[in-house]
Amino acid sequence: MYILAMFPYPSGNLHLGHLRVYTIADVVARYHVLQGRNVLLPMGWDAFGLPAENAAIERGIDPAEWTKDNMAKMKEQLQQMNAIFDWTREIATCDPEFYKHTQKIFLLLLKHGLVSQKKATVNWDPVENTVLANEQVDADGRSWRSGAVVEQRELEQWFLHITEFKESLLRDLKILGENDAWPEKVLGMQRNWLGRSDGAYYRFPASPVSSKIQVENFEIFTTRPETIFAAQFLAISPNSQLADELAKEDPDLPKRDTDTMDTFMDSSWYYMRFPDPHNLSLPISEEAAKKYLPVDIYVGGVEHAILHLLYSRFVYKAVMGLLYPTQPGTKEDAELETFDRKALATQSDQEPFKRLITQEMVYGTTYTDPDSGRFLKPDEVDLSDPSSPKIAASGREPLVSFEKMSKSKHNGVDPGSFISKYGADATRAHILFQAPVGDVLNWDEHKIAGITRWLHRVYKLALSLTSSEKRADWDAMQHFSKAASAGEDSEIINSKDHAAQHAIDSDIWRTTQNTIISVTKSMEKIYPLNTAISDLTNLTNVLVKTSATASEPVKVAATAHLLRMLAPIAPAVAEECWSLLYPPPSRNMLFEPQQQQQPHGEKTWPVPDGSLSLLHSDTVRCAVKVNGRLRCVVEIPASPPADVLQKGDKDGGGGGSEFERWITDEILKDPKAREKLGDGAMFDIRKAKKVFPVSGGRMVSYVLE
């Protein structure tokens, strides 16, 4: 399985946006490793570009030296986050062994007429002295990176013939949209960019008067060809090259520019290189292409929806169609240069990325002076009480907001120092828990305290079981089948003890099985990874609460499942706790090398064992009466938590104030019940004088008076 996160530009410092995308990719990769799959998770560097050249000019150093130093620094930072990147496949686009293949791909496209050169009006950044795509110019006409006002210049430009592939690029968006494989937002942006205009081209003969420029005809396009007979004149666009030439009386001689290839050419094919990074003669061999491509899961920012992703789709369709075509005879035709280019463009059904996961940005806590509007530096804010920050100089409360991280707003966070302070696992879990993958993440350092407490509880739980008897042959189906038959087990002293023990064990195992189901769904969908942590926290709470009363085999088995599900998120904590639960050499590590045998199946992600059918239904219908009249029927848990059940057993399943409070809370979780019977309603069951649960909670009667 091929999982890939968009590779970074080696600026020298890893930021939280990097940490978020690579944490997501690593969690998904580890999940599939635990599923028993052979996973490829590579890493490389998008190392060409103007920032390196500008930095070299500013610092007076070689751009290659600056770039290599930055790659080394960022590699060290990435290794701190406990990811399983395969560094043996590391690539850098500035490496001659990489960019010689970029040049080959460009020449291949040129050879077959899929790129061409002509003059065009372009967006010019006067600060960075480079051409910008329309998507790199903001609404105010400024460069996306330098902020300079963009100028219009006419230069010789190379054009990729993407529009020749428009039919297949548009058609295959429907395939990419199946089962939400690609976000609808990205599909819509590409659909709108590609567009589709039905019409006709016309040529009008023309002969400009009093001009040295002789034009034989003008070519125009119209979507309304039926109106062409009423045409009386042609208006030349002010953006036309002809308009510029006609306006000149003594034009300057043109100045030739040196061609350089856009860095988007690197990123349009780099994912093909990782499966075969040391191939000297080809970008990728046919064998490696068949084994690994396309990428199964691609993780990156939605800001790349048009440029990078569209170029990648075009280049993949063209290059794979020419090198390793799926259509009969195409390869031979390509070698003889007799292939049908239109057929290649329209029939290609190959896509580079099966599934696209787009994460949103990370915003930082921003403090602003309410009087001057000035952004405050961290040392200008007193955070001794995080819930009530103060401006150190005046004691006043600053304005607090979450905004895109930037140096000018002093709201950036160094992931390295954060990992050093809290640990990689806590940082990873905090990043995932703060927001769903597709939402903006408002970074709040103070909220990590909850994550660190949870991981400490998991560790203490595993530590408490170090002396337990580990029964590798324990079977949940057998255990609960036997427990359901009261009196068969010699350890059961009386039926009441048996019922209480069975309820506690059932509660633990039911929660465990439901957690396996829900966390697996979160891991498969990826976007709701934050809910996986919520579910694991809930399972931890149940295990801690019942640690003194639950059966030992149930506790050990449930904790083992907890650690397996925790492993993709917090691998170091999970491995440490696993070694406490099963000291070596009794069991192997969770993430042993792929080739080693796993005799007890620890490398397998937990799956539901079918025991839920023995643990009764998760929910039951509860009829709610108030003052003798039926008010509503709601779904509530079939049985209360073990700690509630232990405090009394009236009428076969509850009674007493603890049970009454529990069942009332569960009833009011239903929106309709809350509307009729909650706070502010005509009947507020929380104010009932008497509560009568019947049949273990299948009916509850409230007396309000």
What pLDDT does 339 receive? 61
Residue 249, pLDDT > 50, answer yes
Structural domains in the chain?
A: 196-247 (no CATH), 362-442 (no CATH), 466-613 (1.10.730.10), 617-703 (3.10.20.590)
CB atoms within 10 A of CB 393: 11
The whole-angstrom separation of Cα 445 and Cα 428 is: 12
Which pTM does this prediction carry? Answer: 0.78
Q: What pLDDT shows up at residue 507?
A: 85
Q: So what's the pLDDT on residue 571?
A: 96
- In this prediction, residue 218 carries a pLDDT of 72
Per-residue pLDDT reduced to its tens digit, 425-464: 999 999 999 999 999 999 988 889 999 999 999 999 999 9
pLDDT of 490 above 70:
no
Residue 579 or residue 241, greater confidence: 579
**Token duo for residue 229:** 């007979």
144: pLDDT strictly greater than 90? no
d(CA 569, CA 425): 7
Greater confidence, 137 or 648? 137
Ranking 24-33, 64-73, 402-411, 468-477 by mean pLDDT, the lowest is 468-477
Which parts of 195-297 fold into alpha helices (H)? 241-247, 264-267, 270-273, 286-292
- Structure tokens, 688: 């009932």
The kind and range of the H/E element at 364 are strand 362-368
183: pLDDT strictly greater than 50: yes
CA distances from 360 to 165, 511, 589 (A): 29, 32, 34
pLDDT at 336: 46
For residue 73, what pLDDT band results from cuts at 50, 70 and 90? Answer: very high
Alpha helices (H) in 269-390, listed in sequence order = 270-273, 286-292, 307-323, 330-336, 341-347
Q: What is the pLDDT of residue 600?
A: 44
The Cβ of residue 703 has, within 10 Å, a number of other Cβ atoms equal to 13
- The stretch 91-115 carries a mean pLDDT of 93
pLDDT at 495: 54
DSSP string spanning 33-65?
HHTT---B-EEEE---SHHHHHHHHHHTS-HHH
Residue 506 has pLDDT above 90, yes or no: no
pLDDT band for position 651 (50/70/90)?
very low
Q: For the residues 10-30, what does the mean pLDDT come to?
A: 92
Asked if residue 615 lies in contact with residue 509, where contact means CB atoms within 8 angstroms, the answer is: yes
Position 73: which residue type?
K
Position 656 scores a pLDDT of: 59
Could you give the CA distance from residue 35 to residue 29 in angstroms, rounded to a whole number?
10
For residue 349, pLDDT over 50 is answered with: yes
Confidence band (pLDDT; 50, 70, 90) for 409? confident
Q: Please report the pLDDT score of residue 34 as a whole number.
A: 94
CA angle 278, 280, 285 (to 5 degrees): 75
Instruction: Give 397's contacts (C-beta < 8 A, 6+ positions apart).
Output: 370, 388, 389, 390, 391
Encode pLDDT of 278-326 as tens digits: 999 999 999 999 999 999 999 998 888 888 999 999 999 999 999 887 6
Query: So what's the pLDDT on residue 569?
Result: 98
pLDDT of residue 419: 94
Q: How far apart are CA 304 and CA 8, in angstroms?
A: 13
Q: Report the pLDDT value the prediction gives residue 420, as an integer from 0 to 100.
A: 92
pLDDT level of residue 491 (50, 70, 90 thresholds): very low
Q: Is the pLDDT of residue 586 over 80?
A: no
Query: What's the mean pLDDT in 184-193?
Result: 91
Residue with tokens 């509007």: 373
Of 549-558, 654-663, 668-677, the range with the lowest mean pLDDT is 654-663
Where is average pLDDT lowest: 53-62, 77-86, 451-460? 53-62
Report CA torsion sign: 86, 87, 92, 96.
negative
Is the pLDDT at 655 greater than 50, yes or no?
Answer: no
Mean pLDDT of 517-540: 93
Residues whose CB falls within 8 Å of the CB of residue 398, separated by 6 or more in sequence, listed in order: 367, 368, 369, 370, 376, 381, 389, 390, 391
What does pLDDT average to over the chain?
83
What is the structure's pLDDT at 241? 64
Longest dimension (CA), the chain: 114
- How is residue 254 annotated by DSSP? P
Tell me the pLDDT band of 468, cut-offs 50, 70 and 90: low
Percent of the chain whose predicted confidence (pLDDT) is above 90: 39
pLDDT value at 653 more than 50: no
**CA 199 – CA 675 distance, rounded (Å):** 58
28, 6, 81, 29: which is closest to 532 by C-alpha? Answer: 28
Helix (H, G, I), strand (E, B) or coil at 333: helix
Q: Render pLDDT for 370-391 as a digit per residue (tens, 0 to 9).
A: 888 888 888 888 888 887 888 8
The stretch 192-216 carries a mean pLDDT of: 70
- Does residue 103 carry a pLDDT above 50? yes
Phi, psi of 275 (to 5 degrees): -65, -20
For residue 206, pLDDT over 80 is answered with: no
Higher-scoring residue by pLDDT: 170, 680: 170
Whole-number pLDDT of residue 680: 73
Report residue 239's pLDDT band, with 50, 70 and 90 as the boundaries: low
pLDDT for res 381: 86
